[in-house]
Amino acid sequence: MANISTAGVDPTKMGVGRAIAVLTSGGDAQGMNAAVRATVRVGLYTGAKVFFVHEGYQGLVDGGDHIRPATWESVSMMLQLGGTVIGSARCKDFQTREGRLKAASNLVKLGVTNLCVIGGDGSLTGANIFRTEWSDLLKDLISKGKITKEEAKTSSHLNIVGMVGSIDNDFCGTDMTIGTDSALHRIIEVVDSITTTAQSVLLFCFGICSYIVTSALTHSHQRAFILEVMGRHCGYLALVTALACGADWVFIPEMPPDDGWEDHLCRRLTETRKAGSRLNVIIVAEGAINKAGKPITCDQLKDLVTKRLGYDTRATILGHVQRGGTPSAFDRVLGSRMGVEAVMALLEATPETPACVVSLSGNQAVRLPLMECVQVTKDVTVAMNEGRFDDAVKLRGRSFENNWNTYKLLAHVRPPETKSNINVAILNVGAPCAGMNAAVRAAVRIGIIQGHNMLAVHDGFEGLALEKIEPITWNIVGEWTGKGGSELGTKRVLPGKYMEEISLNIAKYNIHALVIIGGFEAFSGALEMVQGRGKYEELCIPMVIIPATVSNNLPGSDFSIGADTALNTITSTCDRIKQSAAGTKRRVFIIETMGGYCGYLATMAGLSAGADAAYIYEEKFGIRDLERNVEHLTEKMKTTVKRGLILRNENCSSNYTTDFIFNLYSEEGKGVFDCRKNVLGHMQQGGTPTPFDRNFATKMGAKAVLWLTEKLKECYRHGRIFANTPDSACVLGMRKRGLVLQPLAELKEETDFEHRIPKNQWWLKLRPIMKILAKYKISLDTSEHTLMEHVISKKPPVHMTLTK
């Protein structure tokens, strides 16, 4: 994240004498409220005045009551609300110079010289025009007697910072726009419901007619579903949905299907049915086109499948349901991080600083020149219009291209006729979590595509020792993407006591490589396997560990599969718990989260649910800290604030237990608020995986097997596989901006084995944001500074890899 203060500057004084206005414009998106809330609260924290602009640019033009001072309390209880509470409107008046003159006059009269705009490319382009005209607008206002020269002098320059709020994720320069993840949640909910409906119909038919051979099933039970999702001329939602649900086909505007696609589609659907698939799913972006530029619609596809194949086909157009609902945890955290970054960018800007957009690249907040991003976004449209579809995919950015490459790897490919004679075994280790099955599915299918024989190991390392090993095929994993838990079975048992049996079975089944998917036990177990290479030569095979645990406590990766699903479970539960007290007196909730000694879930849930405090092991606290927290919350409760939320990581302290904290707050809050406590428990490990976890797991599974394939070529010596170098056993993880592989030996030095956490954890730098948003007057980290980057020079090279 950005530094919150410049050297020698008190961050609580950075905004003194300055004013910031925040508006939302264009189509609304879930998570905008989180961005507005963070902008207001961090602006006030810096000492600046902050104003709401209601109804977008229309409010800026109309002025008056549309531009109102924002207070700390005015943004309370906003995080869980969809849409934008300050309103959004498309404004024709602002497109005229006369309208912009009125808007400039309204801002000057209030002393506002910093404007934060949350919207899409059109809204941000309008803001940049406003900024470039600012000096001329002031001259016109002076000549018309609307403002004085003194007023013009104090408002001589307008700073603009944008945050991209759009469910379409169509703005180049950012990996994810605010609202995209929430829209994917709505879409996947529908896809899961549709899939369940279709399967239950088919299962019922199989149950009733079990005496009839499968081939005699009537075509009326051959179900196909066609789902149209939003996105205008961007296929991101459709593409990620296809990856997240294992769709049979996806149509996106950036990459129209080849001529003759109708035959190819029908052949594909027929093949999947013959292979035993119970239903077909086709995802269509609303802007999907063919090579000639003509639309491909739901109805057109329905007619094609019905007439040619005779399948019972259902078409669903989701529409604006994708904009609705509560924002996901990801969008709340993203909006909050971007809001902080936006305020800092405004207060650090000089007259020479170009208008910028705060953005997300991988896991890092970045600042990009607004008009460069707008230009690249327009370049995508030009490329599509000119039929340069490969360029269009590249211009969409690294994230989009990686998704497309992964989809291409997993779809429309027939396994090669010549086998590699390589056997790759896959096992799950540790506690189960949502997304494990998606990683297994991707690994199995990529392995089969590479010509390998894939083996499933049930019950982790114990299963590897006890010969719970069997072949796993393409069709077995077909519907695993959306399943929670672990279909392979998983145990926490480490391999140490079974090393001889494991080495014998590796030799017996001729296993050439291992994919180990799991939590800290997977990491520790793999280290034991590597250490055992000196004694057991059979263990000298390439191994890759894919982090999968709700605790997100593995070294080598910023994120673990399953953590996003757990975070959303905690966040939605906190929303419900807080709502349960609606209409009652002031109440504080003490909630215990999982995570072992890792405070990731407590901290990120604190950000996404708007907690007043989150107690974690990594940040030591004592009775004085608890006392200050109670006093702080008591003072807040004396205002209009009626809800308090305290999160506690399960192992944050052996003495300050959940009961202790509950009793302390109950006693000290007497007469002001009462308390309730909840221990969330194993519900955090359950449920179907979120779109993020499905997509992340799919890419991780695919990347792991591709890396193993290359590593096996390196390790092939004298007619056999021999791998004993440090880089032959790696953790695959996301670090800042991409997927990276790091040797276990290196990561061992970065690990606190006693507490099962990495020694350095990136998310700790977000904790001050949570505290400031809870109205604590603290300093923020000044060690990192987010510099302006460039998009034009960052255009991806012609050949991209899956790692980036």
State the catalytic residues.
168
The answer to whether 711 and 728 are in contact (CB under 8 A) is: yes
Confirm or deny that 260 is annotated as ligand binding.
no
Confirm or deny that 553 is annotated as ligand binding.
yes
Backbone angles phi, psi at 231, to 5 degrees: 135, 0
Backbone angles phi, psi at 16, to 5 degrees: -60, 130
Confirm or deny that 686 is annotated as ligand binding.
no
Confirm or deny that 492 is annotated as ligand binding.
yes
Confirm or deny that 232 is annotated as ligand binding.
yes
Confirm or deny that 41 is annotated as ligand binding.
no
The token duo for 161 is 């910072």
Taking the C-alpha atoms of residue 22 and residue 12, their distance in angstroms, rounded to an integer, is 19
Confirm or deny that 54 is annotated as ligand binding.
no
Confirm or deny that 76 is annotated as ligand binding.
no
Q: What residue type is 289 in one-letter code?
A: I
Confirm or deny that 616 is annotated as ligand binding.
no
The answer to whether 160 and 175 are in contact (CB under 8 A) is: no
Confirm or deny that 322 is annotated as ligand binding.
yes
SS3 161: strand
Distances (CA, A) of 444 to 85, 335, 414, 725: 46, 36, 14, 25
Confirm or deny that 287 is annotated as ligand binding.
no
Confirm or deny that 595 is annotated as ligand binding.
yes
The token duo for 26 is 């264009």
Q: What residue type is 592 in one-letter code?
A: E
Confirm or deny that 531 is annotated as ligand binding.
no
Confirm or deny that 223 is annotated as ligand binding.
yes
Confirm or deny that 122 is annotated as ligand binding.
yes
The answer to whether 719 and 703 are in contact (CB under 8 A) is: no
* Closest to 636 in 3D by CA, of 679, 678, 587: 587
Read off the DSSP letter of residue 690.
P
Q: Give Cβ neighbours of residue 51 (< 8 Å, ≥ 6 apart).
A: 19, 20, 21, 22, 67, 68, 69, 70, 110, 112
Confirm or deny that 549 is annotated as ligand binding.
yes
Confirm or deny that 168 is annotated as ligand binding.
yes
Q: Give Cβ neighbours of residue 725 (< 8 Å, ≥ 6 apart).
A: none
Confirm or deny that 694 is annotated as ligand binding.
no
The answer to whether 509 and 461 are in contact (CB under 8 A) is: no
Confirm or deny that 120 is annotated as ligand binding.
yes
The token duo for 435 is 């997304």
- In angstroms and rounded to an integer, the radius of gyration of the C-alpha atoms of the chain is 28
Confirm or deny that 167 is annotated as ligand binding.
yes
* Closest to 789 in 3D by CA, of 712, 750, 726, 737: 737
Report the C-alpha dihedral over residues 238, 240, 245, 247, rounded to 10 degrees.
50
Confirm or deny that 701 is annotated as ligand binding.
no
Confirm or deny that 91 is annotated as ligand binding.
yes
Confirm or deny that 230 is annotated as ligand binding.
yes
- The rounded Cα 525 to chain-centroid distance in angstroms is 29
Read off the DSSP letter of residue 411.
S
The token duo for 493 is 């048992």
Taking the C-alpha atoms of residue 593 and residue 614, their distance in angstroms, rounded to an integer, is 10
Confirm or deny that 669 is annotated as ligand binding.
no
Q: What residue type is 294 in one-letter code?
A: K
Confirm or deny that 290 is annotated as ligand binding.
no
**Phi and psi based region of residue 111 (left: phi greater than 0; alpha: psi -120 to 50; beta: remaining):** left
Confirm or deny that 165 is annotated as ligand binding.
no
DSSP for 727-769 reads GGEEEEEEETTEEEEEEHHHHHTTEETTTTEESS-GGGGGHHH
* Closest to 447 in 3D by CA, of 517, 547, 515, 507: 515
Confirm or deny that 74 is annotated as ligand binding.
no
Report the C-alpha dihedral over residues 297, 298, 304, 307, rounded to 10 degrees.
-140
Taking the C-alpha atoms of residue 407 and residue 504, their distance in angstroms, rounded to an integer, is 37
Confirm or deny that 654 is annotated as ligand binding.
no
Confirm or deny that 467 is annotated as ligand binding.
no
Confirm or deny that 767 is annotated as ligand binding.
no
- DSSP β-ladder status, 364-369 and 356-361: antiparallel
Residues tagged in the binding site annotation for ATP: 27, 90-91, 120-123
* Binding region: 27, 90-91, 120-123, 166-168, 223, 230-232, 286, 314, 320-323, 492, 549-553, 587, 594-596, 650, 676, 682-685, 756
**Binding-site residue ranges for Mg(2+):** 121
Please enumerate, by residue number, every residue annotated as part of a binding site for beta-D-fructose 2,6-bisphosphate.
Answer: 492, 549-553, 587, 594-596, 650, 676, 682-685, 756
Known binding site for substrate: residues? 166-168, 223, 230-232, 286, 314, 320-323
